[in-house]
């Protein structure tokens, strides 16, 4: 059963308070400023992951989000460096570029299902890396470096966001930027999934033939979902490029694509907020296992397998079962 | 009575196999027409051609004069031709009611973006679909199961849900592929009544079915296929007396035709 309206509102308020108030306060109290970078990464990775989640939601296993993150990073970097665009403009531009590219790529490949689609998307990440190596505009293996920090964002002479280079604490600024976008992105996803569009996506996932026989334009809906997914990938990649002030062909690889997918699995494919939780747990889990040295990957993979066997519907399914019992 | 659907010279080849061979017939408004024939005769293929799930090799299908073959299933559905599946086909992880609500998709006045924003039109759509879904569920005797997850339904109710989904699209002609398969006598008789009631509500019905007593009882006319070809067309009594039909069914299913 869905929780009632009041519980939902208090959950949202609590979450926003933690993210925008409690975390910054705790970090400045403890002096662990490095955590800003970690949490910013989690927020950005969860944006890319929720895109992957949406393709899962229409019944496609997407292991190609790394390609769009890389593409978004390059689009933003090139527009800033070669064309003098403001970072703030390149952000939607990167998203839209990726969405447009994904429409062209998606039209043929979204006809494929199951492992076939998964394999093609896996190859896509590698193709993106090779293209970044080969194209003149991406500057090959040397990548694009010394990208300036985001400048000020002013609308009608009112400065909404100050120039990051003038800030004492650009880490906090990036953190706030990333979590704001994360909140917006998950709000969009929540609305999407809880409107009729979500039901239509589910109908694709459960039976495409039947969906088309009741008049759903399945090709169109698939492409739309994939474009939204890639938009999120592009935006996330663009901010990563701005934070590290650089982008290389190896900035996003097949490993990242696989991780985006695992984040969704871990959090739960049936839950909008699954990718957020999955990313958080996976990112910190991997770091915690760092102390185990050479066994890090072994333990990590083992735990993942066990988790998928024990909790096939993801971590959030735990909350559901306890609620049912309680 | 007016011609509703016109199938003219339709042929479908799969490689060397001619699954449907130059078949022509027409369906009148508010008629119940059954397509019968031995297994592999091409009945399901014919349905897929009519509902644009398959593209004909030659020939065409017209609905009220407008061509509907060789398009796409969702376009045929939009024009009013909707097919239910031979296999029980439903959205198995949705509730029964949600299955029927989602099938109202064609009737939505709001755009996808409208649904995202939750506009007034979208809300009105949702309310109307919910109400219509409840009516359809009542009509098919599924009201008490409305909130059950579809995959948990017993077989007979799954068939009914398949038909409910078809009805929700508000078709002008409904194609039912073996709706009585796997049903016991009582369930079949209830379904026969059901299909009759649908016709009384103004629907034209095209039916593929193996249960000969049921077919003979329910149909206004029949079309008989054998090896992809139409070998007979007529009223139940005409078909039961037709030499070619008896021959086609001889040996294998001679009792099945109800002689
Ligand atoms: N997609 C397909 N590809 C190749 N052959 C097919 C295909 N669909 C059906 N057939 C063949 O066409 C013939 C008619 O099949 P079908 O229309 O399912 O028969 P029926 O529904 O009357 O039992 C069969 O021989 C079947 O094997
Ligand atoms: Mg068949």
For the segment A150-182, what is each residue's pLDDT rounded down to a tens digit?
988 888 777 888 888 888 788 899 999 999 999
- Looking at residue A117, what DSSP letter applies? H
In this structure, the answer to whether residues B25 and B59 fall within a common structural domain is yes
Closest ligand to B226 CA?
A: 1
Query: What range defines the domain where residue B73 resides?
Result: 1-80+174-183+204-259
| C-beta separation of B85 from B177 below 8 A | yes
Give the separation between CA A120 and CA A18, rounded to whole angstroms. 39
A22 part of a folded domain = no
In this structure, the answer to whether residues B164 and B179 fall within a common structural domain is no
HSE of A116 in the Cβ direction (CA atoms, 13 Å)? 6
Total tally of structural domains belonging to chain A = 1
In this structure, the answer to whether residues B95 and B162 fall within a common structural domain is yes
Give the separation between CA A318 and CA A162, rounded to whole angstroms. 42
Record: contact A216-B94, CB cut-off 8 A: no
Give the separation between CA A290 and CA B62, rounded to whole angstroms. 68
Total tally of structural domains belonging to chain B = 2
In this structure, the answer to whether residues B179 and B259 fall within a common structural domain is yes
The gap from C-alpha A93 to its chain's centroid, in whole angstroms, comes to: 17
For the segment A58-113, what is each residue's pLDDT rounded down to a tens digit?
999 999 999 999 999 999 999 999 999 999 999 999 999 999 999 999 999 999 98
Token pair of A255 as six digits: 């490993």
CATH of the domain at B70: 3.40.50.300
pLDDT of residue A244: 93
The 10 Å Cβ neighbour count of residue A76 is 31
In this structure, the answer to whether residues B61 and B114 fall within a common structural domain is no
Burial category of B200 from C-beta neighbours within 10 Å (exposed 0-12, middle 13-18, buried 19 and up) = exposed
Predicted ipTM of the assembly: 0.83
Give the separation between CA B251 and CA B66, rounded to whole angstroms. 42
pTM of the model: 0.87
Of B77, B94, B112, the CB nearest to A215: B77
For the segment A262-298, what is each residue's pLDDT rounded down to a tens digit?
999 888 888 899 999 999 999 988 888 888 888 888 8
In this structure, the answer to whether residues B76 and B94 fall within a common structural domain is no
Give the separation between CA B97 and CA A241, rounded to whole angstroms. 47
Kind and range of the H or E run holding B173: strand B173-177
Q: Which of B170, B196, B220 is the last residue of a domain?
A: B170
Query: What range defines the domain where residue A168 resides?
Result: 34-325
Any idea how long chain A is? 326
Q: What is the pLDDT along chain B (259 residues), one digit of tens a residue?
A: 578 999 999 999 999 999 999 999 999 999 999 999 988 999 999 999 999 999 999 999 999 999 999 999 999 999 999 988 777 689 999 999 999 999 999 888 888 899 999 899 999 999 999 999 999 999 888 999 999 999 999 887 888 899 899 999 989 999 999 888 878 888 888 889 889 988 998 899 999 988 888 899 999 999 999 999 999 999 999 998 888 888 877 545 545 554 4
Residue of B nearest to A225 (CA): B112
In this structure, the answer to whether residues B44 and B5 fall within a common structural domain is yes
The mean pLDDT value for A221-236 works out to 96
Ligand 1 within 6 A of CB of B42: yes
In this structure, the answer to whether residues B38 and B161 fall within a common structural domain is no
Task: Find all residues with CB under 8 Å of A18, minimum gap 6, and list them.
Answer: none
Give the separation between CA A94 and CA A76, rounded to whole angstroms. 6
In this structure, the answer to whether residues B20 and B75 fall within a common structural domain is yes
Ligand 1 atom with the shortest distance to the CA of B15: 4
Chain B environment of A213 (Cβ under 8 Å): 51, 53, 73-74, 77, 82-85
CATH of the domain at A104: 1.10.3470
Chain A environment of B90 (Cβ under 8 Å): 207, 210
């Amino acid at each position: 059963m869905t929780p009632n309206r009041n519980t939902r509102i208090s959950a949202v308020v609590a979450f926003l308070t933690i993210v925008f108030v409690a975390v910054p306060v705790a970090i400045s109290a403890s002096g662990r400023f490095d955590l800003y970078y970690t949490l910013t990464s989690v927020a950005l990775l969860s944006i890319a992951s929720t895109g992957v989640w949406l393709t899962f939601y229409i019944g496609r296993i997407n292991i190609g989000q790394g390609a769009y993150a890389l593409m978004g990073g390059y689009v933003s970097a090139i527009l800033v460096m070669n064309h003098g665009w403001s970072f703030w403009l390149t952000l939607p531009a990167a998203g839209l570029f990726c969405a447009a590219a994904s429409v062209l790529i998606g039209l043929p490949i979204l006809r494929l299902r199951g492992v076939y689609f998964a394999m093609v998307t896996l190859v896509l990440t590698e193709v993106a890396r090779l293209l970044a190596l080969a194209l003149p505009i991406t500057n090959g293996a040397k990548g694009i470096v010394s990208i300036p920090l985001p400048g000020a964002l002013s609308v009608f002479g009112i400065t909404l966001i100050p120039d990051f280079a003038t800030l004492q604490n650009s880490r906090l600024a990036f953190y706030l930027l990333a979590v704001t976008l994360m909140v917006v992105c998950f709000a969009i996803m929540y609305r999407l999934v809880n409107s009729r569009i979500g039901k239509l996506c589910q109908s694709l996932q459960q039976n495409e033939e039947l969906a088309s026989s009741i008049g759903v334009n399945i090709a169109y809906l698939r492409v739309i979902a994939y474009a939204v997914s890639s938009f999120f990938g592009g935006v996330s990649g663009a901010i990563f490029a701005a934070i590290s002030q650089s982008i290389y062909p190896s900035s996003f690889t097949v490993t990242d694509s696989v991780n985006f997918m695992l984040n969704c699995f871990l959090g739960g494919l049936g839950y909008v907020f699954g990718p957020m939780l999955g990313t958080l747990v996976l990112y910190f889990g991997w770091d915690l296992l760092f102390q185990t040295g050479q066994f890090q990957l072994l333990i990590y993979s083992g735990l993942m397998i066990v988790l998928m066997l024990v909790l096939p519907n993801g971590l959030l399914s735990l909350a559901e079962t306890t609620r049912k019992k309680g | 009575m007016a011609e509703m659907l016109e199938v003219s010279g339709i042929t479908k080849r799969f490689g060397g196999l001619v699954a449907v061979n130059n078949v022509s017939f027409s369906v009148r408004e508010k008629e119940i027409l059954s397509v019968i024939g031995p297994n592999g005769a091409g009945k399901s293929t014919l349905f897929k051609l009519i509902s644009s799930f398959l593209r004909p090799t030659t020939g065409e299908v017209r609905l009220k004069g407008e061509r509907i073959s060789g398009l796409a299933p969702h376009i045929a559905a939009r024009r009013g031709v909707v097919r239910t599946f031979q296999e029980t086909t439903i959205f198995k992880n949705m509730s029964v009611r949600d299955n029927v609500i989602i099938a109202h998709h064609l009737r939505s006045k709001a755009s996808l973006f409208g649904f995202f924003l939750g506009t007034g039109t979208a809300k009105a759509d949702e309310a109307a679909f919910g109400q219509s879904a409840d009516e359809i569920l009542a009509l098919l005797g599924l009201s008490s199961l409305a909130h059950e997850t579809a995959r948990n339904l017993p077989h007979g109710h799954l068939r009914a849900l398949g038909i409910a989904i078809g009805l929700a699209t508000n078709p002008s002609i409904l194609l039912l592929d073996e709706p009585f398969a796997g049903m016991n006598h009582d369930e079949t008789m209830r379904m026969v009544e059901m299909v009759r009631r649908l016709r009384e509500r103004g629907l034209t019905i095209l039916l593929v079915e193996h249960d000969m007593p049921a077919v003979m009882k329910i149909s206004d006319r029949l079309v008989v296929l054998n090896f992809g070809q139409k070998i007979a067309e007529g009223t139940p009594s005409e078909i039961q007396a037709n030499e070619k039909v008896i021959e086609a069914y001889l040996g294998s299913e001679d009792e099945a035709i109800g002689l």
